[in-house]
Amino acid sequence: MRLSRVLNRRPDRALVDLLVAQVGSAIAGVQVARQAVTQKLTPEQARPLMAEVEHEGDRRRSATVTRLANAFANPIDREDLFRLSRSIDDILDNLQDFVRELDLFAVTPDPGLDTVLQAVGEGLADLEVAISAIADNPLQIRARSLAVRKNEIRRRYQVAVAETLSGAPDETTLKNRELLRRLDVVGLRLGEAADALADGAVKRSH
């Protein structure tokens, strides 16, 4: 069956909106984390805000899973959409862990943390566009998923680690290194979300 014919199946717009809303929760999580690392909020202040964001994200995830159970005609397989939803949820969970660890470590945040978080926000914005393509332009799903994969998170993470470790190792250095590692995990989960979307498009082309 031709790719255009398969991918032009009428999508479940409500399901797409729920997935986009999940990404919105993750973006809100990035915003709270950035406020914490730039010291606009103390980590102690950021933790309850992040808990609220994560709770809303869980609610949206639950709504997505419920909708998926009843979804039929979509350009992307249900299994891949479930993987996508789970990966978005994992992103938010790791962002919450990041803010919790920032508070527990009681460390002055390294400037590189905000640089990486900015890239995470950009990657999530690209993911939002890619998900919207399910309903708006299914033939562009793979290309837009690739744009998510090309984000700057890993490169900025590597630069930030190099800068953090350039001085004499001490407790602050090690704590910031662990915080950077947490953000690297966020980047990996974002990549998995993009892969789920791209894999689904490929499957439907065969």
Indicate the fold that domain 3-203 takes in CATH.
Methane Monooxygenase Hydroxylase; Chain G, domain 1 (1.20.58)
Confidence at residue 205, expressed as pLDDT on a 0 to 100 scale = 55
From residue 62, alpha-carbon distances to 18, 22, 23, 59, 201 in Å are 10, 10, 14, 5, 24
Residue pLDDT tens, the chain, 206 long: 444 444 455 668 899 999 999 999 999 999 999 999 999 999 999 999 999 999 999 999 999 999 998 876 567 888 999 999 999 999 999 999 999 999 999 999 999 999 999 999 999 999 999 999 888 887 788 888 888 888 899 999 999 999 999 988 899 999 999 999 999 999 999 999 999 998 887 766 55
Q: What is the pLDDT of residue 3?
A: 45
Q: How far apart are CA 157 and CA 180, in angstroms?
A: 7
At residue 4, the pLDDT reads 46
Separation between Cα atoms, residue 40 and residue 83, nearest integer Å: 34
* 126: CB partners within 8 A, 6+ apart: 144, 147, 148, 151
- DSSP for the chain reads --HHHHHTSPP-HHHHHHHHHHHHHHHHHHHHHHHHHTTSS-HHHHHHHHHHHHHHHHHHHHHHHHHHHT----SS-HHHHHHHHHHHHHHHHHHHHHHHHHHHHT-PPPHHHHHHHHHHHHHHHHHHHHHHHHHH-GGGHHHHHHHHHT-SHHHHHHHHHHHHTTS---HHHHHHHHHHHHHHHHHHHHHHHHHHHHHHHHHTT-
CB 23 within 8 Å of CB 128: yes
Give me the pLDDT at residue 137, please.
Answer: 82
What's the pLDDT score for residue 74? 66
Q: Spell out the domain ranges in the chain.
A: 3-203
